[in-house]
Amino acid sequence: MSVTVIRNAGMVIGWDGEAHTYMPDADLAFDGGSVTFVGRAYAGPADTVIDGKGLMVMPGLVNIHSHPSSEPMNKGLIDEIGSPGFYNSSLYEYLPIFRADADAVPHCVRVALSELLLSGVTTLADLSMAHPGWLDLLAEAGMRVCVAPMFRSARWFTRNGHMVEYEWDEAVGEKAMGEALSLIERAEQHPSGRLFGMVVPAQIDTCSESLLRDSFAEAKSRGLAWQIHAAQSVSEFHEITRRHGYTPIGWLDHLGLLSERSIIGHGIFLDDHPATPWHTKQDLARLADTGTTVAHCPTVFARRGITLKDFGRYKRAGVNMGVGTDTYPHNMLDELRLVSYLARTQAGDPRTMNSTDLFNAATIGGAKALGRSDIGRLAPGSKADIVLVDMAHPMMRPTHDPVRSLIYAAGDRAIRTVFVDGRMVVDRGEVLTMDYPAAAQALHEAQARVKDAVPRLDWAHRSADTISPLTFRRV
């Protein structure tokens, strides 16, 4: 082990035991993978000294919902499409046809994780279907990753663009859950020491009641977080009310599946949402009273005119909020900016939330959801997951409030250096652990294969260019 000291930092975002605090002209020391000192006038040993002048030292961001193995492939294809027959969701008609093939998956992962590191994310929940070499690929990135292999009892599809159908095989779902649990065990034993697990039945409408109950019981017995996509579309809301007579959140509550270790991916369509008015108005209280976390990922829905109503309202009700990057670009700071703007426009009130709420959701809110008290904050004993921000970057100036300047103006352009577990993984805006440009080029080539396969997979046998027309006609 060797001690690294960041000395005389322009600003350190420290942790006082209850909240983040601004500490100007402060020092931070870490020994190996752990922070050992946060304060002023550090007098201990120092094997490496970093001049902190003009830098903001902040905890790495915690992203609790992402799909790195598939979403980067969709860039340019799904930016402006949504199915009118499914209330503008893209899940049922387009998700099954724009999919990365096996050869493209590693490139997808490297692109997504590179973008995340460059935007200050040091801990990621990777909700993917299991794929070869997954764990070693995550370890290669140097990131701290919650491995979250998804499983389900049914797949969805459409034959006509306006009705969702389900092909059920509960035995397959149970088998897939067993494989996912084995993979989680392997992740937690991985020599990198940075991988841990989460139990994820994929979607509320594709999982049988027994799979939901059994997966939750497994998560509880293993001390793991449990996450599910729910209340993410109007079609899903109607499907669950048709099947069970409960809203999606109400159904999970009825089954006893909401808890402090439960995460709802998206949680948009509650019983009081204007698009899904129901005869109850209890869903928000259900989430708050049970300590359930909502993983808020605004970009993927905003593309289709859909959004949470609203982040500030959920927060004031007592719901623990976390943030994820469900889609490309995997830029956490861009996502945070959109969280704020959408919340204010939906509430019609610029006071519905503030940057304190925003930064907390991306750090301690996410850490709480994952059951981690050692990430998302900088204090002695916490993990050395650290981001250095260049406060002298022109986009950070003037710097009345550096966190606001970072989120609302500079974004990832001001991220200079990133450490995970005390290891430098980004320096001067370059990812050190993966070849980001090469992965992006390989993904560009792979997308052509995906586009060629679209007519065979689409219910109407349309081409990719028909589904997603180019901005301008070719001449």
| Structure tokens, 197 | 């697990």
Q: What's the CA gap between 62 and 81, in Å, rounded?
A: 29
Helical axes 170-188 vs 209-222, angle rounded to 10° = 20
By the 8 A CB rule, do 85 and 161 touch?
A: yes
Residue with tokens 């889609």: 327
Structure tokens at 318: 């007592």
| pLDDT reported for residue 1 | 72
Q: What's the pLDDT score for residue 239?
A: 98
Other Cβ atoms less than 10 A from the Cβ of 242: the count is 8
For tokens 């729910």, what's the residue? 230
Three-state DSSP at 218 gives: helix
Fold designation for 61-369: TIM Barrel (3.20.20)
Contact 283, 251 (CB under 8 A): no
Give the length of the chain: 475
Tell me how far CA of residue 32 lies from CA of 35, 356, 401, in angstroms. Answer: 8, 30, 31
> Which DSSP string corresponds to 349-409?
-TTS--HHHHHHIIIIIHHHHTT-SSSSS-STTSB--EEEEETTSGGG-S-SSHHHHIIII
Per the CB < 8 A criterion, the answer to whether 308 and 296 are in contact is yes
Among 120, 132, 138, 130, which Cα is nearest to 60's?
Answer: 120
- Beta-bridged to residue 427, according to DSSP, are 417, 430
Q: What residues does CATH 2.30.40.10 cover in the chain? A: 3-59+378-431
Per-residue confidence (pLDDT) for residue 99, from 0 to 100: 86
What pLDDT sits at residue 75? 94
Question: Strand order of the sheet with strand 195-201?
Answer: 61-66, 121-128, 144-151, 195-201, 225-230, 262-266, 293-296, 320-323
Domain 3-59+378-431 has CATH 2.30.40.10: yes
Q: Provide the residue-wise pLDDT of the chain in tens; the chain has 475 residues.
A: 799 999 999 999 999 999 999 999 999 999 999 999 999 999 999 999 999 999 999 999 999 999 999 999 999 999 999 999 999 999 999 999 998 899 999 999 999 999 999 999 999 999 999 999 999 999 999 999 999 999 999 999 999 999 999 999 999 999 999 999 999 999 999 999 999 999 999 999 999 999 999 999 999 999 999 999 999 999 999 999 999 999 999 999 999 999 999 999 999 999 999 999 999 999 999 999 999 999 999 999 999 999 999 999 999 999 999 999 999 999 999 999 999 999 999 999 999 999 999 999 999 999 999 999 999 999 999 999 999 999 999 999 999 999 999 999 999 999 999 999 999 999 999 999 999 999 999 999 999 999 999 999 999 999 999 999 999 999 9
DSSP 204: T
* 3-class DSSP state of 127: strand
